[in-house]
Structures are given as structure tokens and as C-alpha cells.
Structure 1
Amino acid sequence: MLKLVTVIGARPQFIKAAAVSRAVARQDGIAEVMVHTGQHFDTNMSEIFFEELGIPAPDHHLDIAGGSHGEMTGRMLAAIEAILIEEKPDWVLVYGDTNSTLAGALAAAKLHIPVAHVEAGLRSFNRRMPEEINRVLTDHVSARLYCPTTAAVKNLADEGIREGVMHVGDVMYDATLDARGRARSGSDILVRLGVEPGRYSLATVHRAENTDDAASLRAVIAHLEKVALERTVILPLHPRTAQASARFGISLEALKVIEPVGYLDMSALLDGCADVHTDSGGVQKEAYFHGKPCVTLRGETEWVETVEAGWNRLWSMPDYKQPRRPIGEYGRGNAAELIVADLVMVGV
């Protein structure tokens, strides 16, 4: 029996892990141990995702959140190392680009346990972003690299990484297909908020580059206030953004601010909105999966194909126009099955 330890800690990882965990449960010859670092600790950003997505309760919950990037990553590294020594897995599976991702990858690599990285090869080419450092370092210690796009495969090849690389598509697409139907029948958030489909914009703001600097956050909020002159802007407020806006004295009164929402409610908001304004890489893709135009509140994006296909634009490109076309990069909704089948085939 192949033993897999999965390390997750943040909202996008819960969503991706749900798709892969379902595939693990359907596959003979593999067992999964789930480790939740606690990086996202708010109930609406953590526990509700396990409930709504049907993810089994974590086998290990580390309750590590807050502090600087170095402090958080170091505490996670030590705690995950102890779990790996206890569990003795054949593989460690990590997702994306968070501190939890890097800590899990480093702990495994130092114990000579092979690492599998889901969403490998993405690059914004902005080394000032903590996420960019996390994803680059994780890729360079991974034995299996599961890429959502061919651009990601090329990025890895440009860095000399060619062994163990697979273009499998995007597990977030798998998750979206599963959630959209359930959200349409199971979420009443539009009724609760008193908004009509197509009559509001959806915004999310949480990246450090936007929340750690007063001028940057003011610019983002000013952009959203301009959008709010035309239609309601719904902003599920990330705890980091709430703290930053209070610290810098930035008013959010022009926006319809709500608490962070679960995945089904977020799926319903994406399904019903007119457009999306976000600094989240995951939400950029989810916007495309729901057929919604997106404005990325950053100077670059790791999801370059969404820009090239006309579904997304950087907010620094206000006049950018590109005919919209389908994106074939993200697969057919079976990325999770391909990942699990490959791990079983590779074995120990």
C-alpha cells in the first residue's frame, strides 16, 4: 500500500485537495494522511471547506498561523518533520505556493522523502512576491511536478527541470465542475445579500503586495470604488485586508463588505457576478471557469494564458482588449485522476 502525506493550509489548497482526495479514495493501492498546518485558521476560510467539500478531517492539525513569513515557515517545517518521521510516508504531496507548501516540501526533502508538487511550474517572474519564492524552491526539490499548463512545463524546462514533469491540467477545474451544480441548488447567498445575477462585481484582496503598503491598498480600494459607481462590488473581506484597512485608515464604505465565505457560496457568487476583480491567482482561474471577465489587481500574473485568451487583464493595462477564446490548457476535469494514477504507477 502506497502511503501519501498531503500538506495543506490555505483556502485554495483545500479546494484542490478535495478533488485529489476523492481520486485517492477511488484508487486501489494508495492511502492518504492529511496534515493541515492551520495557515488559514478562520472558520469561514478553513473548517467550512472541509465540511462543504467532503474532505475527511485532517489526521494532524498543527494550528500554526500568524507571525512573519520566516517564523511561520520555520514552525511549520519543524512540526511537519516530526509528523513525517512518525508516519513514514512514501510520498509527500503539496499544492501551490504558500508557506505551508514550502514547509512541507523542505521537510520531506531533508528526510529524503520524494515530493510531488501539484500546480508546479507557475511563474510570475516577480521575486519580491513570497509566493514566487515558495513555488520556485518547491519545484526544485520535487520529484514529480504536475503542471496545469504547457507554459508551466516550459518554465520548468527553462530552469533545467525536465524529469518527472507532467502536464495534467488543473485540479481547480475538476473542483469547479463538481461545485458549480451543487452551488446552484444549495447556496442562497445572492438572496441573502439582496443582489441579482449580473448586477454586481465580485472582488477579493489579500496579497501582501497590496495589503502591506498603504499606498498600494489605497490604489486597490480606489479602483474598486470606481467600479462601485456602476454596480455593487461585493468584497468577502480577508482577515489580512481587514487589519490593513483599519491600520491605514482606509474606508471600505463604498463596497459591500461581507465575511469570508465557504466554497459553495463563493462558487455561487462567481456564477452570478458580472465580472471579477482580484489579486488571487486561484480566483483568476475560477473566474474563467465560470465564464467571467477578470481584472487582476497586480502588476503580473502567473496565469498568462487567461490574459492571452482575452478573459483576464492586468489593471495596469486598462486599454487591453483581446478576443475571448476557450483555453484548452486546463484539461478535461480529470487532472486529479491523472495525478493519483501517476503516483501509483511510480510507486515507492
Structure 2
Amino acid sequence: MHITLIAGARPNFMKIAPIIHAIHQIQAEGSSLRYSLVHTGQHYDEKMSGQFFAELEIPEPNENLQAGGGTQAEQTAAIMIRFEKYLETNPTDLVLVVGDVTSTMACAIVAQKARIKVAHVEGGIRSNDWTMPEEINRLVTDAISDYFFTTSEVANENLRKIGVKEEKIHFVGNTMIDTLLKQMPRFKKPELWDKLQLIDKEYLVLTLHRPSNVDEETKLKTLIDQIISSSEDCPIVFPVHPRTAKMIELLGISHPRLHMVDSMGYLEFNYLVQRAKLVVTDSGGITEETTVMQVPCMTLRDTTERPETVTDGTNELVGTDPKEIEKMLKKCFSGNWKTGSLPALWDGKTAERIVEILTKLNH
């Protein structure tokens, strides 16, 4: 059996890496399972170099479709056209997609139209917010996938609600956590640690990337001002996208405790997260990592597709109301943050379970 693994953005490779490791393991034991890794090139990132793949201990992709840039529609079209041509000369038995980026949806559509089975890792997650492009990607991908590998019982129930048969749903856990647990001993202190004289549990990490938060000038300024004013004397480390940095410069946002730094590698960034007093974010994946590392986290969104990080974990869904942000920051600084627990099957063995199921599909 030959599987084509699809990744389009950095977080996708974190989800794919343990699956590759698990395939290598069973190949060493004599399995005939084979794979190819296709990078759609959806996100261009100068840090996506050979060093990045070395960090994750995976080979560089067999193919880069270089389909980045343009509008959502242009990008979707470019990925579909190039992946279709790739499949014509590189036949496969199964296309495995992960997460909820444009590549996930585009490659699932192409595969199904070529009559190739599709497996969706992280199937069934929902924010129920159709203003998020990712939610559309999830809905479309789940509507046409053949097999679903899920991270939670909530995801299982979401799939049942749309009529997915029980035998197609495989509750396996979270491959992002496989990567986190494997790489935790290798976390690397960034240079800025000594430069900023950071101290364990005495600084905040801030990440913002959602267009609804960073593209609206007034909203972005209000959010950052509120976080600064409610964070006592704590330094705030803010790895910032160049586009957001330009907006911050335009708005004249600056403060001695706000340290805007370039985007960081996986091992350095998680070194910071693991030692932070609190993470303030609008990301989904980071809330999973903070849950496992038992780091308080507040999400500046009204919805989350990862409710288990709130019900089980250390994450709180705060929204973007400045008064609510102030209240939750006070809660953190008073030492009253909840103690989370580990969601079911987030044990570092998810990829092994996925690959075991894939080998059975071959029989």
C-alpha cells in the first residue's frame, strides 16, 4: 500500500512527522507500507528549510507543488491543478490530509475526483464560525473523506451528526502532541532569553495572527493596550508576523515591556511557552500545547474548534472584550488559574494507532 501525505503549512508538518516516524518503525519490522510526502507550498516560510525538517527528524518532501500566494480561490485552484498533475505521474492508494488549511481541502477534492480514498487526520473538529476559512475547509474535507482520525469524543460526535458511519471514525488522539512529547527534551533556549533577562514564570507570551484581530486597527491597539495595562510588571514576548509588525508600527504601539521579536523555530518557541506565566493567543494549536505543558492560556476568540483545551485543559476562551481580558489577567496574577488535565489519548502514541489502522485498511 502506498500513502501520499499532504502538508501545506508549518503546523501540518508537526502533525505529519510522527506518522512518518511510525511508518519508518513498521517498515523496519518488515511492513510493505510506503509513503510519499507532498508539500503544497501553500505557506512560504524562510524557516521551512532543511534545518526545519532536521528539527522534526523527517526527510524533506518528495515534492513541493509551490502553490503559495494569491487569494483563497487562486491558491485553492493552484493546489488542485498541480496536485492533479502530480497524481497522474505518481499513483497512490490513499491520500492522507491533516488539519484544516486550504491544502487539506484542495487535495481531498482532487483525490476523490481521481477515485482515490481520503483519510482526514483531525477530522470532526468544529468552531461553528463560518467567518473562519479553516471552518469551511473542515466542513468540505469531512464531507468527502473516507476515514477519520479524531482527537476527541466531541469530534466523533460532530461526525456522527453529519451521518458518518461509526466504522469510519477512529478516535486515536492528537499527533501534534506526539511531536510535542517527543521534542520536549530537545527544546532550545533562544538568544532573547538572556538578552531580555527572562525568568521562569515571570513573563507572558503573546501570539496574534487572526485577520479579525490584527487587520482592524482599533481592535489590535485596544487588545495590546489592555494586555499591557493588565500584566503588572511582566515582560511580554510577542513573536510577530511582518504584516502585523507594520500595523503596530503604523499605530505607534510601543512599550518598554512589549518585546516584538521575529517568528521563531519550533524548539525555541516552545522553550518559551513551557516557562511562561501565561500565554495569550488567538491560535488553536498553541492551546493544545499549553494544555499538555500545564501552562495557563487565554484565547482571544469567541469560539474554539478545540473545546477539550477548555473543558479538560488549561485554556480559557476569553473573547476580545477588554474588560474580560482584564478580569482574566487579574485571575492569572492572583494565582487562581485552573489546573488542567490531559485529554484522553493525548499520550504520544497517536501516530502508532493511525499507522496500525492504515495497515489493516490494506487487507
TM-score when normalising by structure 1: 0.92
Alignment of 1:65-84 (within 5 A): 65-84=68-87
Given candidates 122, 125, 138, the residue that maps to 2:125 is 122
C-alpha distance in structure 1 between counterparts of 2:219 and 2:337, whole Å? 27
Residue 12 (structure 2) aligns with: 13
2:258 equivalent to 1:249: no
Structure 2 counterpart of 1:176, one-letter code:
L
Give the whole-Å Cα distance in 2 for the aligned partners of 1:227 and 1:63. Answer: 43
| Structure 1 stretch displaced more, 136-145 or 225-234 | 225-234
- Cα distance in 2 for partners of 1:74, 1:245 equals 33
Are the aligned partners of 1:64 and 1:72 in contact in 2 as well (CA < 8 Å)? yes
Q: 1:91 aligns with which of 86, 90, 94?
A: 94
Question: Aligned with 1:44: secondary structure?
Answer: coil
Tell me if 1:107 matches 2:106.
Answer: no
Shift of 1:199: 1.4
Specify the SS of the correspondent of 2:260.
strand
1:306 matched to which residue of 2? 309
Tell me, yes or no, if structure 1 residue 49 matches structure 2 residue 52: yes
Query: Aligned residue for 1:38?
Result: 41
For 2:206 and 2:52, locate their aligned partners in 1 and report how far apart those are by CA, in whole Å.
20
Write the distance in 2 (CA, Å) between the matches of 1:137 and 1:341. Answer: 26
What is the CA-CA distance between 1:88 and the residue it aligns to?
A: 0.6
Residue 326 and residue 81 in structure 1: after superposition, are their counterparts in 2 closer, same or farther (change >3 A)? same
Structure showing greater radius of gyration is 2
1:167 aligns with 2:166: no
Residue 182 of structure 1 corresponds to 186
Alpha-carbon separation, structure 1, partners of 2:14 and 2:53: 9
**Does structure 2 retain, via aligned residues, the 8 Å contact 1:169–1:331?**
yes
Q: Deviations over 1:268-319 (max 9, x none)?
A: 1111111111111100111111110101011111111221236111223555
Detail structure 1 runs of 4+ shifted over 6 Å in the superposition: none
Deviations 1:49-101 (A, max 9, x none): 31211121111112222221111111111111111121111111111111111
How many corresponding residue pairs? 344
Q: For 2:47, what is the secondary structure of its paired residue?
A: helix
Residue 34 of structure 2 aligns with an amino acid whose one-letter code is A
Q: How does 1:317-336 map to 2 (within 5 A)?
A: 318=325, 323-336=338-351
Q: Is the 1:129–1:209 contact (alpha carbons within 8 Å) kept by the matching residues of 2?
A: no
1:236 lines up with 2:251 in the alignment: no
Task: Give the letter for the 1:14 counterpart.
Answer: F
Say whether the 8 Å CA contact 1:218–1:250 is kept in structure 2: no
Is residue 2:283 matched to residue 1:277?
no
Which residue, 203, 208, 211 being the options, matches 1:208? 211
Give TM-score scaled by structure 2 length.
Answer: 0.88
| 2:265 aligned with 1:262 | yes
* Change over 3 Å in CA distance of 1:3–1:250 after alignment to 2: farther
Paired letter, 2:171 = H
Structure 2: distance between partners of 1:164 and 1:311: 31
**Paired-residue identity, %:** 35
Q: Following the alignment from structure 2 to structure 1, what is the Cα–Cα distance between the partners of residues 105 and 211?
A: 17
The unaligned stretches of length 5 or more in structure 1 are none
Q: Distance in 1 between matches of 2:285 and 2:108?
A: 20
Backbone CA RMSD of aligned residues: 2.1
Unmatched 5+ stretches in structure 2: 329-335
Q: Which moved more, 1:9-18 or 1:235-244?
A: 235-244
Give me the whole-angstrom Cα distance separating, in 2, the residues matched to 1:114 and 1:211.
38
The 1-side partners of 2:230 and 2:76 are apart by 37
1:34 and 1:60 in contact (8 A); partners too: yes
